[in-house]
Amino acid sequence: MARIALKRAFDAPQKEDGYRVLVDGLWPRGVKKQHAHIDEWPKEIAPSRELREAFHDGSLGWGTFRTRYLKELTEHRETLRSLAQRAKRETVTLVFASKETRTNNAVVVRQYLNMLG
């Protein structure tokens, strides 16, 4: 069973986070890189700029964003497959900057990883 956690970039890293992966395309404003303890930052798996902006400005609802983002993620299947495999061996924490904890790109990445797993 995959062990995939989600955590805001502004929350302090913990040992139990395991392997920390930033899933945003932009570095979180105000977070120092040396304090973030990010193990991997695969920028290519972040939502496209167009998709991210449309979701944040309200042009796209959550359902449409989620569907389109899942489609974008298929283009990065190999990167994501290695994360899914890692999550079978150890905890992988997907780190995100959004204030929204239930409707953000990390939620969609976790769903995709679980489908691959």
Residue ranges of the chain with pLDDT lower than 50? none
Which pLDDT value is given to residue 1?
66
pLDDT value for 117 = 74
Contacts of 9 (CB under 8 A, 6+ apart): 22, 24, 28, 31, 36, 95, 96, 97
- Tokens, residue 70: 């899942």
Q: How many CA atoms lie within 13 A of 105 on its CB side?
A: 28
pLDDT of residue 2: 72
Please say whether the beta carbons of 22 and 45 come within 8 A: no
pTM given for the model: 0.95
Report the pLDDT value the prediction gives residue 23, as an integer from 0 to 100: 98
